[in-house]
Amino acid sequence: MDGRDGMRAADADREAVAERLRAALNEGRLDLHEYDERLQRAYAARTYAELDPLLSDLPPMSSPAQPALRAPSTVAQPSTGRLAPFVSGDTGRWLGEVWFPYLKVLAIVVTIWGVTSLLSQELLYFWPAWVAGPWGVVLVLRTVGGLAAGEPRRHAIERERRRQRKRAKRERKRQLRSTEPDKTPPPPD
Handedness of CA 156, 157, 160, 162 (dihedral sign): negative
Q: Which helix (H) or strand (E) holds 95?
A: helix 89-120
Helices (H) and strands (E) in the chain, counts: 7, 0
The contacts of residue 139 (CB under 8 Å, 6+ apart) are: 98, 99, 102
In angstroms, rounded to a whole number, what is the distance separating the alpha carbons of residues 81 and 42? Answer: 28
CA distances from 146 to 87, 104, 119, 149, 155 (A): 16, 21, 42, 5, 10
pLDDT at residue 183, rounded to an integer: 63
Domain ranges of the chain: 3-55, 89-179
CA distances from 152 to 46, 123, 147 (A): 23, 41, 7
pTM as predicted? 0.44
Q: Largest Cα–Cα distance in the chain?
A: 85
Q: What is the pLDDT along the chain (189 residues), one digit of tens a residue?
A: 567 778 888 888 888 888 888 888 888 888 888 888 888 898 898 988 888 898 888 888 765 444 444 444 333 333 343 443 444 578 888 888 899 999 999 999 999 999 999 999 999 999 999 999 999 999 999 999 988 888 888 888 888 889 889 988 988 888 888 887 666 666 676
